[in-house]
Amino acid sequence: MVTVNIDGKDIQVPKGMNIIEAAKLAGKEIPHYCYHEKLSIAGNCRMCLIEMGMVQKDRETGKVITDDEGKPQVRWMPKPAIGCGTNASDGMHIKTNSETAKNCQNGVMEFLLINHPLDCPICDQAGECRLQEFATDYGRGYSRFVEKKVVKPKRTVLGPRVTLDDERCILCSRCIRFCKEIVDDDVLGFVDRGSYSTLTCYPGKKLENNYSLNTVDICPVGALTSTDFRFKMRVWFLKRTKSICTESSVGVNTTVFSREGQIYRITPRQNDEVNDTWMSDSGRALYKEVEAENRLRRFQCKGSSISSSEALIRFKEIVATGETAYVGSSHMSVEEQYLLKKLTELHKGPVYWLQHIEEGDGLLISSDRTPNMRGALLTGLIDNLPGDDLKALGQKIDAGDIKNLVVYHEDVLKAGLTEEQIKKVNVLYLGTHVNETSKRALIEIPTLTAFEKSGSFINQQFRLQKFSQAIPGPAGILPDINVLTRIITLLMGSDDTVTSLDLIWQRMKEEIKEFSEVSFRGMPETGVLLDKSRFEHIKFPEGKTLHYEPKNR
C-alpha cells in the first residue's frame, strides 16, 4: 500500500493501482471513455487527464523536502498526465479538478462533440450515454464549431446481432480490445486515418462470435447497438432487476430490463468472482422464451383447462394412489428443489435426474447447461452426478413398479423412455413450455420462468446467488413454491397455503448444514461461497471457464 494525495487528501491505495481506480477509492470520479477495468490500457481518449506531481526528495538523504508549513514540496509535471496510464506510487500528488484539469476536460469534451452527429433523439444510448453525462458534468456547455461535420457510414451491419453507426463512434477502441483480448476473435479494427478513421470488421469476416453484444455494453456511445433492442424502448422507462442467467452452471449475473411486464433486454451485471462484466449472446436471448409460442399457460387435465386449485387437488389424489417416481430438473431453484425433496420424503418414491452436458466454450458457458445441479446435491435429491438417460426408470416402469410419474421441466421421451412406457404411467407434468412429455401428461401444471419468480441458484463454484422477479408471470400461473407447498399440505391433510421464501429459508438453514450461516435477505451482491466438502469426491463435468475456481475461497 502506498500513500497518494488526491485533491489535498491522503489515501492509501495498493501500489501500482491506476489513478482512475485510486480516485474511485477516494470517492472522486475521473471521467474516462477508453479505459475499462478488464481491458488493456489504450490511453487514447485523453478524457482522464489530471495533474500529477511527485514529492521532492533530498537526493542524498532520501527525506521528503517540506516547505515552511511542513507540507511536502511537490514537483508538478509540466504536462497533464492520463489517469488510466499512471500507476500509483508513494508520494504521488494528484489534482483532478484544478484549473488545468478542468480545462483539459472541457477541451477534450469539446473535441469529441464537434464531429458527433446530433442523434440524441434517435440514439439508443440516450439516458445511459457517457457523452451526455460527461458533457453536462465536465463540458463547456456551448459549442463553438460552425463548420461541416465529418460524414461516415451510418447503419453498417457488423454481424447478426450488432449494428454500427460510425459517425457516433469516438474511436475509443474498447470494442477492438475486447474482441482481441477477451474473446480472442480479432475481427474489428480501424481503417483510414485521422478524423476519418472508421471502425470496421475485417474484410470478409463478421462480428458473429457469441460475445458480440458485450461490445454494445462497453461502447460508451451509441455507435455499437444491439440489432434486437434497436429503437425498441428508451432506457429511462426500463426497470432494472437483478437476475442470474440460466444458460449454464456459470451463473452469469445479469440485469433484466423490463417495462410493464415485458422484458426488453438483458445485460450483464458486474461480478468479479463469476463473470467480470461479460455475458454470452445466447444467454441474452433467453428472455424470448417468456413469450414463446409453446409456452404452457393453463392448468390442464386430460387436455381441458381447469382451475389451479382443482388441478392441485387432482394432482394430490393421483399421486396418493400409488408408487410415484419423480424426475426433477436442475433448472429448479434451490427453494423449489428443497420443496420437491420434502414431497419425495412425504410420499416416498425414487428420484431420477438428468444431466444436460454439451461442450463448454471456455469462457462463460460451461459444459453443464443447467444453472442449479448443485442445488439438487445440497438438498439431497441426488447424491452423485445425474445420468444421461432414464433407462433405469424405464425398466422399473416395464416391471410394473411405477404407477405415477411426476416430471418437472424435462422431456422424458428424449431421455430414453418410450411411448409404451409413458402410456403405462400417469404422467404429471410441471413446466414452463409444452413438450412431447407434457402433451401426453394427465395433468399439466404451468410454472414460471426464472424471470417471473425469485429464488437462488448454486453455480459451478458452489456459489449461492440470488435472482429476483423481473416481470409477473402469465395470468393465473402460481409460483412454483406455492404449487409445491400446496401439494405437500394437501398430502398432509392441512388447508395451509401460506409460504414464502423467508419461511423456506428458515427451514433450510436448520436442515441443510451448508446453509446454516447463510442469510437469504442479507446475501452479498457477489453471492456466498458454500462449503463443498461433502461433495469433494464427485468429478464435476465442467472444465475451465473465465472463473472456474473462485478467487477467494
| Residues near another protein (CB under 8 A) | 41, 43-47, 49, 78-80, 82, 85, 103-104, 107-108, 110-112, 114-115, 142-148, 150, 170-171, 189-190, 192-197
- Smaller CB separation from another protein, 108 or 296: 108
Query: CA–CA distance from 34 to each of 48, 108, 226, 406 (Å)?
Result: 9, 13, 20, 54
Neighbouring CB atoms inside 10 A of 141's CB total 9
Are 369 and 247 a contacting pair, CB within 8 Å? yes
- Smaller CB separation from another protein, 201 or 238: 201
Minimum distance from CB of 49 to another protein (Å)? 6
- Smaller CB separation from another protein, 115 or 209: 115
User: What is the distance between the alpha carbons of residues 385 and 356, in angstroms, rounded to a whole number?
Assistant: 11
- Smaller CB separation from another protein, 49 or 481: 49
* 188 membership: H or E segment, kind and range: strand 188-191
Which of 481, 478, 480, 450 is closest to 465 using CA atoms? 450
Minimum distance from CB of 192 to another protein (Å)? 8
Minimum distance from CB of 99 to another protein (Å)? 13
Give bridge partners of residue 193 from the DSSP assignment. none
Tracing cell 475481427 back to the chain, one arrives at 187
Minimum distance from CB of 142 to another protein (Å)? 7
- Smaller CB separation from another protein, 194 or 522: 194
Minimum distance from CB of 100 to another protein (Å)? 9
Give bridge partners of residue 324 from the DSSP assignment. 404
Minimum distance from CB of 146 to another protein (Å)? 4
Own/partner contacts of 251-254, CB < 8 Å, gap of 24 or more, are: 251/275, 251/371, 251/457, 251/458, 251/459, 251/460, 251/463, 251/465, 251/527, 252/278, 252/279, 252/280, 252/283, 252/364, 253/465, 254/279, 254/283
Minimum distance from CB of 169 to another protein (Å)? 11
User: What is the distance between the alpha carbons of residues 547 and 228, in angstroms, rounded to a whole number?
Assistant: 29
3-class secondary-structure state, position 404:
strand
- Smaller CB separation from another protein, 98 or 262: 98
Minimum distance from CB of 501 to another protein (Å)? 50
- Smaller CB separation from another protein, 142 or 236: 142
Minimum distance from CB of 42 to another protein (Å)? 8
Which of 509, 464, 511 is closest to 334 using CA atoms? 464
Q: How far is CA 125 from the centre of its chain?
A: 20
Enter the C-alpha cell of residue 526: 457477489
User: What is the distance between the alpha carbons of residues 435 and 191, in angstroms, rounded to a whole number?
Assistant: 50
Minimum distance from CB of 123 to another protein (Å)? 18
Residue 8 CB partners (closer than 8 Å, separation 6+): none
- Smaller CB separation from another protein, 150 or 233: 150
Q: What DSSP line would sit under 426-453, residue for residue? A: EEEEEESB--HHHHT-SEEEE---TTSS
Q: Which amino acid is at 302?
A: K
Minimum distance from CB of 231 to another protein (Å)? 26
One-letter-per-residue 3-state SS of 353-402: CECCECCCCCCCCCCECCCCHHHHHHCCCCCCCCECCCHHHHHHHHCCCC
- Smaller CB separation from another protein, 46 or 314: 46
- Smaller CB separation from another protein, 16 or 522: 16
- Smaller CB separation from another protein, 45 or 528: 45
Minimum distance from CB of 456 to another protein (Å)? 44
Enter the C-alpha cell of residue 282: 445466447
- Smaller CB separation from another protein, 100 or 227: 100
Minimum distance from CB of 91 to another protein (Å)? 17
Neighbouring CB atoms inside 10 A of 198's CB total 18
- Smaller CB separation from another protein, 47 or 464: 47
Enter the C-alpha cell of residue 61: 538523504
